[in-house]
Structure 1
């Protein structure tokens, strides 16, 4: 009897062991979970780099030579006009100088803001020190080596001083007898009164006025109808997506294209915005002034 019981227990233990081994095998055959689902659900980056392009500045090339020789493209001139047209119109209302003449002189004398005298001293009209000037000065090669020029805190101060310079000197008095929309007479009168020694000075001013339709601002101030010049390059273009000193990055923008749009170098643009890499994001706000 005892042997039978022992035999039955042995059989039970044997089948029990086999049963547990099968259970372990089935769990091993179950494939382990992988991380594939995690890999397909990577977080979406909110700031995507804008694709870089090799686009150059648009428009014809201008070689501007007055207080310094500067080579710019027409889009630089358009942006310069956009920056200072309101000041020019304000000075026309206050002092009686045609806005077209103010802007044309600014373009020529400052190299559309890119000449050395404009960059180093905010002098946009090539005004020399002259007797009685008590402000800051800078020396620059012009008709002679290292001539004394006025230095300003900002371009707006230069624009105001230009107006005071013309209205405060008797040799320019005859200009104010001319019609305010006669930019050709004003350009010739400035040369005749001795503002510049360049014999082609009137021709250059008139050329800028007609190519960039600067006389449209005279018409705005005087309330006259404006007729675009047949010699114009294209209508005045205002930089889109610019609000004050900020520009909102658009699709397709690059550091190069933005810097050219606002008359900056890429390094200057990055420095203004404390940026070190080449990543831009659509909608990003950049300081451009």
Structure 2
């Protein structure tokens, strides 16, 4: 019997119970359990009975929930620990049911496994764009649909309805802590585990399309990668939708939220690739409004422009710093995410001293290379390789150290250096021409997690992946305690010069060979 079959045999009834209680297809719950726990063989499932990879939130911990420290996307992350597997299944269902992001799924039929798996992927349950296909493959290969049909027939025969009232929990769940009811009413505009990366904050800035001009930026630009953008509060009303991509802000959505004192907030999402709502729709916190993109005239790459307007009781409108709004909802919803721009948490200045998550501190003292490494190890890096992988770890260490070395001969202010570090991390490219001033261009970039060198000395152009020997030489140089910074820069310049000269000699040899062959052919013709 395969590991998958053993898992199904052991936990099918758990999944069927969740289907009765919450209307979640048993086939989908089983497939997620198989996928997320490696058929019950993962460390989290073995040590913590955590079969769905659910992380421990601050409210879970505050309410006495146990947790394990485990390295997943990042080192030392906290994951929920359960007394038994039944608790894990129950908490997984509660997580889906109470999170507004997944509200639309519960409108589907309990046996619509394709609708559910597609919906989970669209709502951002996992980062993989193949998540739905993976779950469907597990379901169909193992015939898990039969468990959906068994429950459907049972409920019909007994005349029972799906829901917790008619289907009390049979599993032991004394240790399952219910999350703060306020927490589910608020969401940040993007799903993130640790922080949202802001590439351009609110306020006066240089025009990104014309650096000689200044402009008032009435929002914040957040790094995205063609992903779901989310409503931030419950009971929001869609008041404007622009489906025309050929406008300044491109496709956009505006959602309005009422306050008890009669005032309102309007949140606008710009440059969207697609829109999932229409004017008049009521939306819940975490609900998908559309997909981020790069539409509109005034963009330099994909991002989400998130703007907030405050409307007073007399109807006066005012553009406000979205960081202030996000600080408010993060306190109300106990959201521990940071909003980082050049290493600083933009919401910190707006949070009161009674901030509920006192353990979260703004990153105000990071160096440029520390900040760059933080970005590269986040969801926004686009590196697409696990940080625990030794290859990508070595490449990132070299990359960040090179950037730090290049910045040391830069006369920019600390703020400008942090901005350059942000740009380098987002583009995954470092300009090394300050180290090689005689070159027209010299950059090292991360491509699929591997360092690639592009150099143009005015005679030849080199564009290739760095060899292991070159990486080791650069690493040894950067890590040397016997060399000063000038010596390190000369050593790295020597590595790059050697690669360029080798190519130049090879091209010269090939050119001379072709000339000689041409002469021989000319003599033979005579």
Give TM-score, length-normalised by structure 2.
0.28
> Which aligned pairs between 1:140-159 and structure 2 lie closer than 5 A?
140-159=70-89
Partner Cα distance (1:184, 1:143) in 2: 27
1:189 match: 119
Residue 127 of structure 2 is aligned to residue 127 of structure 1: no
Q: Which moved more, 1:192-201 or 1:89-98?
A: 192-201
1:238-267 CA deviation, whole Å, 9 max, x = no partner?
A: xxxxxxxxxxxxxxxxxxxxxxxxxxxxxx
Shift of 1:79: 1.0
1:248 match: none
Residue 82 of structure 2 is aligned to residue 82 of structure 1: no
The higher radius of gyration belongs to 1
1:95 match: 22
2:91 match: 161
Partner Cα distance (2:106, 2:67) in 1: 29
Partner Cα distance (1:89, 1:181) in 2: 11
Shift of 1:144: 1.8
Structure 1 residue corresponding to 2:39, chosen from 95, 105, 112: 112
Residue 102 of structure 2 is aligned to residue 172 of structure 1: yes
Shift of 1:94: 0.8
1:215 match: 145
- 2:59 counterpart SS class: coil
Shift of 1:146: 2.0
Partner Cα distance (1:169, 1:132) in 2: 14
Shift of 1:115: 0.8
- Structure 1 stretches of 4+ with a deviation exceeding 6 A read none
Aligned residues: 151
Shift of 1:131: 3.7
Partner Cα distance (2:78, 2:132) in 1: 24
1:119-156 CA deviation, whole Å, 9 max, x = no partner?
A: 11110000011242131111222222221111111111
1:186-245 CA deviation, whole Å, 9 max, x = no partner?
A: 111111112111211111110100010111100101129xxxxxxxxxxxxxxxxxxxxx
- 2:69 counterpart SS class: strand
Structure 1: runs of 5+ lacking an equivalent: 1-57, 59-74, 225-289
Give TM-score, length-normalised by structure 1.
0.51
Richer in strand (by share): 2
Answer 1 or 2: higher relative contact order, Cα 8 Å, separation at least 6: 1
- 1:138 counterpart SS class: strand
> Which aligned pairs between 1:16-95 and structure 2 lie closer than 5 A?
75-95=2-22
Structure 2: runs of 5+ lacking an equivalent: 155-526
2:132 match: 202
